[in-house]
């Protein structure tokens, strides 16, 4: 805090010198100091309730004639039944392929003609159906949003179309190092636990999905008691409430919350999965373990710790692997926070002949972050996270996304306004505590996707742990029978 007061004083002095200046030669030897940082001046979050009890969170913003509305359904891929991995995703993909008496093409034509953008997608813990629309077209667009959320028809012919599209996408993952490592890393870390899948599921599960499965998922979870609406933009609360009431107020039904995902166990020791991608110019690397749920009391220390380790350009991983060694275009790390224990991982794509040295540097930094952190480095990470925070409330899409986060993780009402202060209070002792608990390089899975014949010996020589050799088929399954992917003759 004394630091802030001092910089304020310097700022006032520099203003006094600056204004009449010009004649004197400019002193460039020191960077100019900043004034006091701005507080987050967020318009109030308005809370509305529809007649059937659906809650609405709304931020009014009249700068640009756009409105964003999102339907947050509290059920996502974590609710996929065993053997039906990808059901939430496929259900979301199918919502706008026929609904409320209109066909897929008719819905698309209506949305495009309004200049609107309608999207649906399943995450781990939620399905989001979002609408971005010019304000003067909101009244015409909302009934379409309500139709796709409340009255999807899941036409059999459209399901076959979407299935084929999805199966082709899964086939294309064999070409994409980043897709391969995403699937391999989830499996290596979580095994048969729910987070051991990816939200898109698997080829086998997608082939087996039926129209009844989709109808069942929709009937179970797309219920008013499971839904919150969020909105932001160029409309008044009164007008919005009226239009939402027309679109969603008559919706009734019971509530079935999906079962929570149990916490996963940490990896025992270290192990390596090497997935062969012959002729790859780079090796994709992911090193990680299980992280805490989003609601952890250590959220803010973890965000600051990760910023310092791999969450910013000046972070240790990026400085080491990119700026110091030139092994990669960029290296970083992330806590992928979910309702349950999502992963933490460090990652980069490194040139093939530097795979083993790069892995060594990763481990140096994962060890290093557990040692006491210099105060100036900690201050930079705190400032980076806190001071740019207000800039993230610029667009209606960003405002709605913040409200979605609040709904999903049940964040308190003062969450946004106290965010900067809570980041500023993170201490070196907090960092030591959370990194000791959550970043243990002795208990990680290491996944590498690259050209095995060029990198296997180097990786084995590092003695990181047992090395399992795999192929793309091991990760994605053998490609299915051709006839089932081809179009009907």
Sites for another protein among residues 396-425 (CB under 8 A): 396-397
Q: Between residue 30 and residue 49, which ones bind another protein under the rule CB under 8 A?
A: 31-38, 41
Q: Which is nearer to another protein, 220 or 395 (CB)?
A: 395
Among 49, 83, 112, 242, binds another protein (CB under 8 A): 112
Around Cβ 314, how many Cβ atoms within 10 Å?
13
Nearest distance in Å: CB 445, another protein:
22
Q: Which is nearer to another protein, 257 or 453 (CB)?
A: 453
Please name which of 284, 446, 247, 456 lies closest in space to residue 366, comparing C-alpha atoms: 446
Among 13, 281, 428, 429, binds another protein (CB under 8 A): 281
Q: Are 189 and 343 in contact (CB under 8 A)?
A: yes
Nearest distance in Å: CB 269, another protein:
31
Q: Which is nearer to another protein, 350 or 445 (CB)?
A: 350
Q: Between residue 212 and residue 241, which ones bind another protein under the rule CB under 8 A?
A: 234
Among 6, 47, 63, 425, binds another protein (CB under 8 A): 63
Q: DSSP characters for 32-91?
A: PPP-PPPP--PPP-EEEE-TT--EEEEEE--SSSEEEEEEEES--GGGPPTT-TTHHHHH
Q: Are 284 and 345 in contact (CB under 8 A)?
A: no
Considering the rule CB under 8 A, would residue 168 count as an interface residue with another protein? yes
Size of the site for another protein (CB under 8 A): 90
Considering the rule CB under 8 A, would residue 113 count as an interface residue with another protein? yes
Considering the rule CB under 8 A, would residue 297 count as an interface residue with another protein? no
Around Cβ 244, how many Cβ atoms within 10 Å?
21
Residue 65 makes CB contacts below 8 A (sequence gap 6+) with: 134, 135, 136, 234
Considering the rule CB under 8 A, would residue 114 count as an interface residue with another protein? yes
Question: Interface with another protein by CB under 8 A: which range of 29-37, 81-89, 247-255, 425-433?
Answer: 29-37
Among 89, 91, 127, 132, binds another protein (CB under 8 A): 132
Among 266, 395, 427, 471, binds another protein (CB under 8 A): 395
Q: Which is nearer to another protein, 15 or 436 (CB)?
A: 15
Please name which of 368, 373, 374 lies closest in space to residue 441, comparing C-alpha atoms: 368
Structure-token match 């969170």, residue found: 57
Among 148, 209, 275, 349, binds another protein (CB under 8 A): 349
Count Cα atoms within 13 angstroms, Cβ side, for 244: 29
Among 2, 5, 19, 414, binds another protein (CB under 8 A): 19
CA distances from 325 to 307, 348, 369, 447 (A): 20, 13, 19, 21
Q: Which is nearer to another protein, 78 or 472 (CB)?
A: 472
Residue 101 makes CB contacts below 8 A (sequence gap 6+) with: 147, 151
Tokens describing residue 212: 């009844």
Q: Between residue 469 and residue 488, which ones bind another protein under the rule CB under 8 A?
A: 482, 485-487
Considering the rule CB under 8 A, would residue 157 count as an interface residue with another protein? no
Label residues 109-124 b or e (16+ Cβ within 10 Å = b): ebbeebebebebbbbb
Q: Which is nearer to another protein, 208 or 278 (CB)?
A: 278
Residue 419 makes CB contacts below 8 A (sequence gap 6+) with: 40, 386, 389
Cβ-count burial of 146 within 10 angstroms (0-12 exposed, 13-18 middle, 19+ buried)? buried
Considering the rule CB under 8 A, would residue 384 count as an interface residue with another protein? yes
Considering the rule CB under 8 A, would residue 6 count as an interface residue with another protein? no
């Amino acid at each position: 805090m004394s630091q802030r007061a001092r910089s304020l004083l310097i700022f006032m002095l520099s203003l006094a010198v600056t204004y009449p200046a010009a004649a004197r030669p400019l002193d460039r030897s020191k960077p100019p100091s900043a004034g006091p940082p701005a507080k987050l001046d967020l318009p109030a979050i308005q809370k509305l309730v529809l007649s059937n009890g659906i809650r609405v969170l709304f931020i009014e913003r009249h700068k640009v004639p756009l409105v964003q509305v999102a339907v947050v359904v509290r059920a996502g891929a974590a609710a996929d039944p065993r053997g039906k991995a990808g059901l939430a995703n496929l259900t979301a993909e199918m919502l706008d392929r026929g609904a409320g008496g209109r066909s897929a093409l008719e819905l698309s034509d209506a949305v495009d003609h309004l200049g609107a953008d309608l999207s649906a997608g399943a995450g781990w813990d939620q399905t989001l159906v979002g609408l971005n629309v010019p304000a003067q077209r909101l009244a015409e667009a909302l009934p379409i949003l309500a139709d796709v959320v409340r009255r999807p028809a899941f036409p059999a012919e459209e399901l076959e179309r979407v299935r084929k599209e999805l199966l082709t996408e899964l086939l294309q993952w064999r070409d994409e190092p980043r897709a391969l490592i995403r699937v391999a890393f989830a499996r290596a870390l979580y095994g048969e636990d729910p987070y051991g899948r990816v939200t898109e599921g698997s080829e086998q599960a997608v082939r087996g999905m039926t129209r009844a499965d989709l109808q069942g998922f929709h009937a179970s979870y797309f219920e008013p008691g499971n839904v919150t609406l969020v909105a932001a933009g160029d409309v008044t609360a009164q007008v919005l409430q009226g239009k939402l009431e027309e679109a969603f107020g008559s919706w009734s039904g019971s509530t079935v919350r999906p079962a929570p995902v149990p916490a996963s166990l940490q990896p025992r020791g270290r192990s390596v999965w090497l997935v062969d991608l012959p002729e790859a110019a780079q090796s994709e690397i992911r090193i990680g373990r299980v992280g805490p749920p989003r609601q952890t009391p250590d959220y803010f220390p973890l965000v600051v710790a990760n910023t310092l380790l791999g969450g910013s350009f000046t972070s240790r991983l990026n400085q080491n692997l990119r700026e110091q060694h030139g092994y990669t275009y960029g290296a970083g790390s992330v806590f992928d926070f979910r309702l349950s224990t999502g992963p933490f991982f460090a990652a980069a794509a490194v040139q093939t002949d530097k795979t083993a040295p790069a892995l060594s540097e990763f481990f140096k930094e994962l060890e290093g972050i557990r040692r006491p952190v210099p105060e100036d480095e900690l201050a930079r990470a705190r400032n980076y996270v806190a001071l740019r925070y207000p800039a993230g409330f610029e667009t209606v899409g960003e405002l709605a996304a913040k409200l979605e986060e609040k709904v999903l993780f049940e964040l308190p009402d003062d969450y946004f306004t106290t965010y900067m202060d809570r980041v500023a209070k993170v201490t070196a002792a907090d960092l030591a505590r959370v990194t000791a608990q959550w970043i243990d390089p002795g208990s990680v899975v290491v996944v590498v996707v690259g050209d095995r014949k060029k990198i296997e010996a180097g990786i084995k020589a590092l003695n990181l742990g047992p090395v399992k050799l795999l192929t793309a088929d091991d990760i994605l399954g053998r490609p299915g029978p051709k006839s089932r992917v081809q179009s009907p003759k």
